[in-house]
Structure 1
């Protein structure tokens, strides 16, 4: 009932504007003295205008708009509706009616122009007034007494203005924007959304102190890591809190920007720009775009509750698959990603499956029931030290589990099977890396004779993942140190979770069956330097506030990782940021024999050294057994 009254009120106001605009147009055109030949029209047309304009605007969907959200796109639609009626009434009165009544002279062009202009300005003005109107809301004594945090926004562009708009529209916001900072000299001194651009980014500390700033928001999604790093270093030791709007790969366009503002994270200052992949992009290869392959497909993600698995699910959800199957062993993590996807993508069908990939009978039933067209296999044991102490778990889960999935993918006609691998599979010195290398060879062997396209995506460390050093360093910093590093010269390749997930999905568009794909990850990063940056990011001085201790390499750990082993050769694919790896294909007949030998080695309870030798032997067997 209230909505109907509200809508009728809008129609009444538009009717009043239509009537007054037409009436005033005559008075203005004839300077208040309407000649007798036009007096009858001056009395009739305002009433006609009410019916004509309301009808035209209904056709254009004007009354489906929400006035308090009136924006440029809505104003253009309103302008088109006003113009269509004005042109129509001019044609009818000047070209059609005079053909049957020669004495009828029609409406002067000046009146049509004045009427249309007044009508558009009046109706647009009403809507803008409603948008600007902020009703006084009752707040609790606690809310009224709480002090709003004073904010500086770095970046006087689209993102910065959006943040200001959202803060100004929200009466419950605990923030108040004091000013902008921007390095564009032409913007300094000018106002955006009523907020002044106070100066350049280099003046941040001086201006923050002068205006008693509590919080600084970096609203530049396209800013380089180097620029963010410079801001972090420049504000070291300042009392305000520094936050950032995520980069373009992370940002959600359908979510308010203020809800996405977060603390500065290590990936923001890592020193390498994030790679952004376009899923709709067509390449010169033989495969459609990743979007075309995922759209309306049944997609299975194993390990869907993990860091990479859950991010792949988020990215896939935006590509509108028909069904997204979330498979994992940990019920809590699967429940969490299911709830998140249901909230963000309510139209998407998601199915939760709690299962262990080592149980072939259970996995066979899942493939039989759901008939997935695409499989993204992320489930794996990843902790190097833990797998050194529990090598049989590493081999059973990473090798046998992957073999089960690859075999079922071939059996049930899966179109594409994508396995997630790691740089630790290259010249492996630990059980985790060796198990992933054996899994790579397993998947490659199934690609020799199967119609299913089998792909392997290999990348380095993922920032913030459960097996990454980042959460470990965070905990150590939170405890006050020391931060432990195994070797001062140790390096690793790093990438963000969105980057890794996008690479996995984009492999659909460029990878040929049996290929290993790797991302152009730039230069490796020193772990010691990473520790220093994280300490600085937390607001401390490395060595003074929090110490860094070098504790020595752990069993199976290498100083430097590589993405290509001695027997492989990298080559360019159709995508400029994705490379392929060429090597001889393993035997397609070796899987059962290697699986049996590994199983016997595990059942015999061999020592770690003996089990390592047997696994290395199995690795060599792939190329000795003839197809």
Structure 2
């Protein structure tokens, strides 16, 4: 039906209702249809005309009545009341009298018939939707404004695959009530029972203000069921039109870390990055590329992308150019190996960066156990090369990315990263450059991390391999890690090791179970097998050594480690001799040196405490 046909039909129906209301009211009061007086005719004409006028004013002829709610009812009330008041005003002018009883009964009939004629469209539509057996029965967690918005949108959309069946909400004042025709069946602890009793296929979490810990608690309850769990998009994505209310996203493992993400101090970061030259080593890697993305928000004058792999550097360059096409940021690329000290000097001299983020490193624990000499070349010598070049050519701030595996290391990778920390802390004592390190745990989604591996195994139908049932790790997201690195540069005074408060550590086996459930499977469908702890691995990781712990946060969720003792002469000897050592002996020396256990007469202890 076209708009004009619909308008004509509504005007015709309303005209019949208006005239029926006033004449039937007269019949109820007088019981005599033959008593048609001039005032009655004038009142009828006035009521009819004023009804159409106020209906136009309140847009009653433009509303989609199949989606009518309280707002539309209020508009009907206003239009009819003003129409009756207009009729009363004309009666007073013409006959100097107002037929109060007649107008009162007319007003009531008018509202009843107009409201009924409109809302019957909504009733018919609701009945049609509730009989659609092809829709997935859905439980909405959260009966607040967002939850009601979700239900209203699902009811409104013919194409929606989900049928709202019930709400879950911890607010006891609304439990056992109906909201938009959907019952509130209980609190969070009733999710498992509600899914079983109501034959729920999907669960939608619709609480935008939900914190990470609360979301984790809700997901634990949802995970006890076989229903697929999804979550409402961020409100800013809905408001900006990127996503609609009914475009739910799957719950990601990042949502379940149990803490709120770190927020940046925009002013302090802008001060040292905006319109400055910034160089990122390992710019094509998971962390390096995300650092580059975050940095572009602060409009540096030049961003130098340095990496060893041409494909990864090309990819991040193209992505940043597309993203920042309208800005005046100059993107420069350098394909280089940080083990090449001459090349590092040349690049630093060429660009003279104000800030360097050193993200290039070998990070795979098992691989470095088998190739300790490569770990030394890249993580230790490579860091020294970049740091020396930065110091020589006047870099203002040098931020090195380290790892929690550098604390009391048991692996070659952790030991070499601890030695790299010692090198830059030592250099900070004699250089104008501020050298700092940033230490964090496992990064979700980074290349070679456990999450992509688990996902691949789940896609193949399992089994999912976990090293040990008691293995625990600290986790953070790639954006979190990158923000910490950038914020550390703003906090840097020189020589610090910054550590992110990553909340409670997570059991790897629990992470595997969550991923299996998030993928729509159950732990009965996909087996988890334990393969044993690999060489160099610990069951748990620490963020700081006992003598490094500084209890007070220097920034929300960021701690700073106390300065430690450095064994620089021993590191230099190891660098000079590592290529002549057997792999087993080299590994032993690295671990002893990183843990401060190499006691020799030639050792020179340099304390920065």
TM-score (norm 2): 0.65
Contact 2:472 2:540 in 1 (8 A): yes
Structure 1 residue 594: Cα displacement: 3.5
- 2:552 pairs with 1:579: no
Per-residue CA deviation, residues 236-273 of structure 1 (Å, 9 max, x unaligned), is: 5878754335779x989978245996432212123x21
1:277 matched to 2:257: no
Judging changes above 3 Å, is the alpha-carbon distance between structure 1 residues 155 and 626 closer, same or farther for their aligned structure 2 residues? closer
- 1:182-219 Cα offsets, whole Å, 9 max, x none, are 7466798677xxxx877578588999999999866545
> In structure 2, how many angstroms separate the alpha carbons of the residues matched to 1:576 and 1:356?
36
Could you tell me how far apart the structure 2 residues matched to 1:397 and 1:253 are?
Answer: 46
Q: Give the SS at the match of 1:624.
A: coil
Deviations 1:98-124 (A, max 9, x none): xxxxxxxxxxxxxxxxxxxxxxxxxxx
Residue 551 of structure 1: how far off its partner (Å): 2.2
Counterpart among 279, 284, 293 of residue 300 in structure 1: 279
C-alpha distance in 2, partners of 1:452/1:163?
A: 53
**What is the deviation of 1:225?**
3.0
Confirm or deny that 1:428 pairs with 2:409: yes
In structure 2, the partner of 1:557 is 537
Q: Which residue, 540, 563, 575 being the options, matches 1:598?
A: 575
Partner of 2:211: 224
CA offsets per residue over residues 528-561 of structure 1, 9 Å max, x none?
A: 222222222223332x222222222111111221
Which residue of 238, 241, 251 maps to 1:264?
251
Over 3 Å counting, the alpha-carbon distance change for 1:483 and 1:213 in structure 2 is closer
**Worse overlay, 497-506 or 178-187:** 178-187
Give distance in 2, aligned partners of 1:197 and 1:364.
68
Q: What is the rounded CA distance, in whole Å, between the counterparts of 1:253 and 1:397 in structure 2?
A: 46
8 Å CA contact 1:148, 1:174 repeated in 2: no
User: Does the CA-based 8 Å contact 1:520-1:578 persist in structure 2?
Assistant: yes
Partner of residue 113, structure 1? none
> 1:174 and 1:233, CA in 2 relative to 1: closer, same or farther beyond 3 A?
farther
Counterparts of 2:370 and 2:311, CA distance in 1: 26
Partners of 1:167 and 1:333 in 2: how far apart?
42
Deviation string for 1:56-113 (max 9, x for gaps)?
A: xxxxxxxxxxxxxxxxxxxxxxxxxxxxxxxxxxxxxxxxxxxxxxxxxxxxxxxxxx
- Are the equivalent residues in 2 in contact too, given 1:571–1:582 (CA < 8 A)? no
SS at match of 1:437: helix
TM alignment of 1:97-136, pairs within 5 A: none
Conserved 8 A contact 1:150-1:176: no
For residues 297 and 252 of structure 1, the distance between their equivalents in structure 2, rounded to whole angstroms, comes to 35
For the Cα contact (< 8 Å) 1:298–1:322, is it kept in 2?
Answer: yes
Alpha-carbon separation, structure 2, partners of 1:266 and 1:566: 31
Question: Aligned residue for 1:469?
Answer: 450
- Judge conservation of contact 2:465–2:530 (CA < 8 Å) in 1: yes
In the other structure, the counterpart of 1:326 is: 305
Against the structure 1 CA distance between its residues 567 and 235, is the aligned structure 2 distance closer, same or farther, given a 3 Å change threshold?
A: closer
Q: Decide whether the 8 Å contact of 2:428 with 2:435 is kept in 1.
A: yes
CA distance in 2 between partners of 1:458 and 1:279 (Å): 19
Alpha-carbon offset, residue 164 of structure 1? 10
User: Where in structure 2 are the equivalents of 1:172-571 lying within 5 Å?
Assistant: 183=169, 199=184, 218=205, 220-236=207-223, 241-244=228-231, 256-257=242-243, 262-270=249-257, 272-280=258-266, 289-348=268-327, 349=329, 350-542=331-523, 544-571=524-551
Indicate how the Cα distance of structure 1 residues 538 and 337 shifts in structure 2: closer, same or farther if over 3 A, else same. Answer: same
SS in 2 for 1:528: helix
Q: Retained in 1: the 8 A contact 2:174–2:184?
A: no
3-state SS of paired residue (2:550): strand
Unaligned ranges ≥5, structure 1: 1-146, 282-288
Cα distance in 1 between the residues matched to 2:346 and 2:241: 38
* Rg larger in structure: 2
> What number of residue pairs does the alignment pair up?
460
Q: Would you say the 8 A contact 2:205–2:232 is kept in 1?
A: yes
Q: Which residue of 1 aligns with 2:12?
A: none
CA 598–174 in structure 1, closer or farther in 2 if over 3 Å, else same: farther
SS at match of 2:266: coil
Q: CA deviation at 1:174?
A: 7.2
CA contact (8 A) 1:388 1:555 kept: yes
Corresponding residue for residue 13 of structure 1: none
Name 1:613's counterpart in structure 2.
Answer: 588
CA–CA distance in structure 1, aligned partners of residues 200 and 415 of structure 2: 53
Name the CA shift for 1:321/1:151 in 2 (closer, same or farther; >3 Å).
farther
Report how far residue 418 of structure 1 moved.
0.4
* Aligned residues of 1:219 and 1:244 also touching (Cα < 8 A): yes
Shift of 1:292: 2.0
Aligned partners of 1:299 and 1:323 also within 8 Å: yes
TM-aligned CA deviation for residue 364 of structure 1: 2.1
Residues 327-355 of structure 1 show CA distances to partners (whole Å, capped at 9, x for unaligned) of: 22222322332333233332342333322
TM-score (norm 1): 0.63
Q: Distance in 2 between matches of 1:327 and 1:177?
A: 48
String of CA shifts for 1:410-458, please: whole Å, max 9, x gaps.
1111111000101111111111001101110111111001111111011
Secondary structure of 1:406's partner? helix
**What secondary structure, in the 3-state scheme, does the structure 2 residue paired with 1:443 have?**
helix
Q: Any conservation in 2 of the 1:601–1:614 contact (CA below 8 Å)?
A: no
Separation in structure 1 between the aligned mates of residue 515 and residue 495 of structure 2, nearest angstrom: 39
Between the aligned partners of 1:347 and 1:434, the Cα distance in structure 2 is 44
> Does the aligned pair in 2 maintain the 1:214–1:241 contact within 8 Å?
yes
Change (3 A) 1:486 1:178: closer
Could you report, residue by residue, the CA deviation over 1:350-371 in whole angstroms, capped at 9, with x for unpaired residues? 3333222112222222222222
> Mean alpha-carbon deviation: is it higher for 447-456 or for 464-473?
464-473
Task: Indicate conservation of the 8 Å contact 2:410/2:591, yes or no.
Answer: no
Q: Is the 8 A contact 1:163 1:258 kept in 2?
A: no
